[in-house]
Amino acid sequence: MTLRPISRSGWVLVTTVLGLSGCGHDGGPSAVDLAASRGIAPPFDPAAFVRDVDNPYFPLTRGTVYSYVAQTAEGVETSEVTVTRDTKVILGVTATVVHDRVLLNGSLSEDTFDWYAQDKSGNVWYLGEDTKQYENGVQVGTVGSWEAGKDGAAAGIIMLAHPRIGDTYQQENSPGVVADRARVLSLSETVSVPYGSFTDCLQTLDWTPLEPGVREFKYYATGVGVVLEVTPRGGRERVELTALSRP
């Protein structure tokens, strides 16, 4: 839903250098490589946020609707992501509410409200999500729900203002619930999906220590956002952008 070079004054850069390297079994960086990446952690200042989310790689224009499709082992999964006109105040920050409905073979399987906000530097923060899982029309869980400031959860970064290759950042941070992280792999990928073809895409590798070995590649197009997600294992499942409606 990519960006650079800029001054990083005021940012916290944490670098861990290890004497080992290698590749993971999926062809991506190993756990050691990921640990050795440069961690980027901009300061969270509730007074330093703006109203609109207009990061080139993660624009959230109110009223925009994204449609995605994926062929999974369980069947055809479709998703409709709507940037609503609603807001939610979290930790003193007014966040934009994004509604994501996922259908599996035509039946609702997940219904989620995500909360995002952008600071003055252009970093897009992830402040939590309210997610519900369904089976046969019945709610069966709320796995993955969290909100920054509650139960030890902290705000994460969903997109840096000026990402560079090798940057890593914490996307979600709620102890025992979510711990998603991302690493910038490329700023020049070409991607083709049913909605169209895009050049100079930002590619990230996403992973979580809560699910060791699970990897996902995401591709962000300037002015659009996420256009493709690829899971390397299990047949290289692809979640592709099929339509985009702007207000």
The values of phi and psi at residue 136, to 5°, are: 55, 40
Kindly indicate whether the domain formed by 12-245 is annotated with CATH number 1.10.10. no
For residue 144 the two structure tokens come to: 């993955």
Is 123 exposed, middle or buried, given 0-12, 13-18 or 19+ CB atoms closer than 10 A?
buried
- Taking Cα atoms as reference points, which of 145, 65, 143, 69 lies closest to residue 103? 69
- Compute CA distances 120 → 55, 213, 225, whole Å: 11, 35, 19
Q: Under a CB-based contact definition with an 8 Å cutoff, are residues 78 and 103 in contact?
A: yes
Contact by Cβ (8 Å): 216, 238: no
Whether pLDDT at 243 is above 80:
yes
* Residue positions counted in the chain: 247
Percentage of the chain lying above the pLDDT 70 cut: 83
The pLDDT of 189-196, averaged and rounded, is: 98
> So where are the chain's domains?
12-245
pLDDT tens digits, one per residue of 12-68: 322 222 222 333 444 445 544 544 456 899 999 999 999 999 999 999 999 999 999
What pLDDT does 83 receive?
98
pLDDT in tens, 124-148: 999 999 999 999 999 999 999 999 9
Amino acid identity, position 180? D
Say what the pLDDT of residue 39 is: 87
Q: How many Cβ atoms sit within 10 Å of the Cβ of residue 107?
A: 11
Confidence of residue 234 (pLDDT cuts 50, 70, 90): low
Reply yes or no on whether the pLDDT at 119 is more than 80: yes
Pairing of strands 38-41, 12-15: antiparallel
pLDDT at 5 over 50: no
What CA dihedral angle connects 91, 93, 99 and 104, to 10 degrees? -40
What is the band of 232 on the pLDDT scale with cuts at 50, 70, 90? confident
What are the beta bridge partners of residue 157? 125
State the Cα–Cα distance between residues 23 and 194, nearest whole angstrom. Answer: 31
pLDDT of residue 30: 53
Q: Tell me the pLDDT of the chain averaged across its residues.
A: 87
Average pLDDT over residues 73-90: 97
Residue-level pLDDT at 185: 97
